Amino acid sequence: MRLSYPATASDYQKLARATLPRFLADYLDGGASEEQTLRANERAWQDIGLRQRVLIDAGDVDTRTELAGQACSMPVALAPLGLAGMLAPRGEAQAVRAANQAGVPFTLSTVGICPLEEVKAAASDPFWFQLYMIRDRAYVERLLNKAWGSGCRTLVFTIDLPLPGPRHRDTRNGLASPGTRSAALKAWQLLSRPRWLWQVGIGGKPLTFGNLNEAVPDAVNLDSFKNWVDTQFDPSVTWEAIGWLRERWPGRLLLKGILDVEDARAAVRLRADGIVVSNHGGRQLDGVAATASKLPAIVAAVGGDTEILVDGGIRNGVDVFRALALGAQGVMIGRPWAWALAAEGQAGLTGLLQTWRQELKLAMTLTGVTRIADIGMAHLDTARTIDLSMAGEQQ
């Protein structure tokens, strides 16, 4: 039975799985290898208790803040998501409209379906652009210039994908496997979702990688795109690339994929404007720690020197509060916004973001804090959060 009034990320996930072909649903939901880190990300936030207080004046709770210098209704940004335009018709354009309506930043992925020009036309506020470093540096420069010309002033450089992680769901569903058998498997999955086939497969065309159309031969073909990625993603990239980017990008630079204190310190030394504590949603190296468990130590090491965002397993407004209490200035979310978009398009994403803001406001009210900047460790139940607080001191 289809849910009439979805409210939570989990609700939208169920609807998305009932809407999408299986290879797309599993591409969205899946992680690397045995998916241990994928599961650990969510559990880690759930293990952080809040300290409820009462009879404190909370009549004027304000969830507004700034992220990367941009005013926001709450400290949440939509993370870059590849293939979002295959989840709903012209998905990135729908998502940026929902983000603008909610007053939160949207980040366009290098490997999104909608190109920069289309997202710019749909947006009423500035949006962010995410970059993967590819071997063709001349093309990277063209992307940077195009992003700047589209009004982007914040660049999110993803640094934890020198090679794509082993995502076995993609292999099982034929998404990562070429050949006739794979094509037949995907075709069967497409035919089992006629609504998606009509609305997105046909109505959402062109389903090409909009920002890479000039670089990828036969960009409409997933197998050709995978071959291009395998040859163009550059595992030889080092910290020297930050200086190269700094010379070519005049705006703010956030480094996404930091999970180690020493890497966080290196980012600060190289004048990154901010970092995103991230393990790529558990989609890269399976077995690495949950982001919540790494956040306190990174905050202790560089929190006074740079802006810190975090992603990975955040599923509601209470998780946003938990991240802020551990020292982050904000969060990035990926799968939740993708589920809402796939389930109900722009309206679904708008509804989800409204719910999260309400949940964050309630968490602030019942912990006795009225301003985002005032949220801290004092608002956590240390009896439940002792391991994380100790981690911040020991690492």
Residues taking part in catalysis: 280
With 0-12 CB in 10 A as exposed, 13-18 as middle and 19+ as buried, what is 273?
A: middle
Q: Residue for token digits 């999955």?
A: 189
**Token duo for residue 189:** 């999955």
In the three-class reduction of DSSP (H, G, I as helix; E, B as strand; rest coil), residue 106 is classed as: strand
Q: What is the DSSP string of 349-371?
A: HHHHHHHHHHHHHHHHHHHT--B
Residue 282: how many other CB atoms lie within 10 Å: 27
Cα–Cα distance for residue pair 68/371, rounded to 1 Å: 18
DSSP letter at 342 equals H
Identify residue 383 by its one-letter amino acid code: A
Nearest one of 324, 271, 280 to 299, comparing CA atoms: 324
Q: Which residues contact 263 (CB under 8 A, 6 or more apart)?
A: none
Identify residue 48 by its one-letter amino acid code: I
Query: 309 has which bridge partners?
Result: 276, 330
- Judge contact between 342 and 20, C-beta under 8 A: yes
Angle in degrees, 0-180, between the axes of helices 335-367 and 91-102, rounded to the nearest 10: 10
Cα–Cα distance for residue pair 55/378, rounded to 1 Å: 17
Cα–Cα distance for residue pair 335/351, rounded to 1 Å: 15
Angle in degrees, 0-180, between the axes of helices 22-29 and 335-367, rounded to the nearest 10: 40
Q: What is the DSSP string of 59-83?
A: TT-B--EEETTEEESSSEEEPP-TT
Alpha helices for the chain (secondary structure H): 9-19, 22-29, 36-46, 91-102, 116-122, 137-149, 168-172, 180-191, 194-196, 222-232, 240-248, 261-269, 291-302, 317-325, 335-367, 382-394
